[in-house]
Structure 1
């Protein structure tokens, strides 16, 4: 990677994500409670989501005060530099609330509207996933020597594919998503529901899933993980001919992408 700006953005994203991950891992109170709800009573925010976002946005503002921000817990500013940070301070909040390990910090940087850097910190796995546009995707373990380049699994036949998915928190949407999953599962090896879109996308990149799809995601859920998946060789998108979005997000090894996209389109996975 020779672009000094991208090097700077990556280094800042890694450091911010690791600081927030350490805060969330080490600072979780035993009596953690819901601070507020979002789209429904089961779509929750904890005090730690808010604290992690404040840490990240403060760190980034100290180093690059002219950049824009888009954060899940309310941070939003347009900026003047052409760079915008897209931040999910705690992806997998319900897992975190219940003490389950599948949660992550997700930070992406956009330059002129294009995602150029993505970092997903998974503290309970001891892994940091990262990618720079055109530079490949990598995962670091506890020590830098553990770094490895990520690559999707070779595409299996559809009936041998392991898929990840997720479910929203609006009742009607959840019911439809369950119906879609019920009709997808006989066609594939199995389906997993991890509870963190960022980690699911990184699992596609790392070859731990063959594909992942979900309806109803937000930019902060997708930005970093989708770049990491693409840089590891996955194809990403939404409905045929469209990019991944809140309507539908799909990431898959290349040989599975179009067959799964066709199935999801036929099943109406993109509506509620």
Structure 2
């Protein structure tokens, strides 16, 4: 087994393990806290699930770094993950794992089923394997060196070409003093495309672009790598296009995200720029 294949197998095993922890506590009695604002939530289950993901990976790759949504110092528990190395950003050299234990915590807290456990293996700055697991649905999206699948079936972006038939998702959220930008984004998408969806989980939304359920998404704000990296890798491997609002190839430090099936991508970029009131 090659190193990349091994990482793909471990990514799948870790995402499943963390997702099971979250699923077992779903719709139970949750300990919920706020982080940056009243709607930026974290639960003790996020930490439990992340602890399981990290411990599973460290059994195979004990010396790798971790870039996680929740602080490793907070989730540290068993000896197997107590000394896990936290990194501040996606490293240009070496191996690291980018983890979101529950992407869509607000959905999770409300008892909505659309949330994901996301794991991405990175080597020398580039994804080599990524997994997005939707535990409440039982769907697992996995990309390795030789395959890109949902539950074993090959991933492919939508083949639609008529923008009037597209379903497109605005992604992200804005503080109240910038809420008008979200309204402009929805309006610009509505003017150019057939329908709008907002799902509440960035990784799940990217997975649905990869599997053809959505034709695209647009986010006008910078997002964290754990919200984006795994899913962007999936969309690209499924034949889609991912750029920033300047039309440049997206990278983990880009200030915006536009992902599509490659058809009418320029119109989606234009919608994002209209939201920012940029020419």
Q: Give the alignment's TM-score, normalised by structure 2.
A: 0.86
The aligned runs of 1:189-268 (5 Å cut-off) are 189-214=194-219, 215-239=221-245, 240-244=247-251, 245=253, 247-268=255-276
Alignment partner of 1:51 is 2:57? no
**Matched residue, 2:6:** 8
Shift of 1:246: 5.6
Alignment partner of 1:113 is 2:125? yes
Distance between the aligned counterparts of 2:18 and 2:174, measured in 1?
25
Q: State the secondary structure of the residue aligned to 1:26.
A: helix
Kept in 1, the 8 Å contact 2:104–2:116? The answer is yes
Q: Which of 171, 181, 187 lines up with 1:176 in the alignment? A: 181
Q: Deviations over 1:75-111 (max 9, x none)?
A: 3624998111000010000000010000000000110
The aligned runs of 1:21-100 (5 Å cut-off) are 21-28=19-26, 30-34=28-32, 36-75=33-72, 77-78=86-87, 82-100=94-112
Shift of 1:45: 0.4
List alignment gaps of at least 5 residues for structure 1: 141-146
Kept in 1, the 8 Å contact 2:239–2:261? The answer is yes
Q: Which of 145, 148, 162 lines up with 1:137 in the alignment? A: 148
Kept in 2, the 8 Å contact 1:70–1:85? The answer is yes
Aligned pairs, number: 260
Q: Deviations over 1:144-183 (max 9, x none)?
A: xxx2001011142222211012232522343311222123
Distance between the aligned counterparts of 1:81 and 1:252, measured in 2?
29
Q: Give the alignment's TM-score, normalised by structure 1.
A: 0.89
Shift of 1:262: 2.5
Shift of 1:31: 2.0
Q: State the secondary structure of the residue aligned to 1:254.
A: coil
Q: Which of 151, 154, 164 lines up with 2:156 in the alignment? A: 151
**Matched residue, 2:18:** 20
Q: State the secondary structure of the residue aligned to 1:255.
A: coil
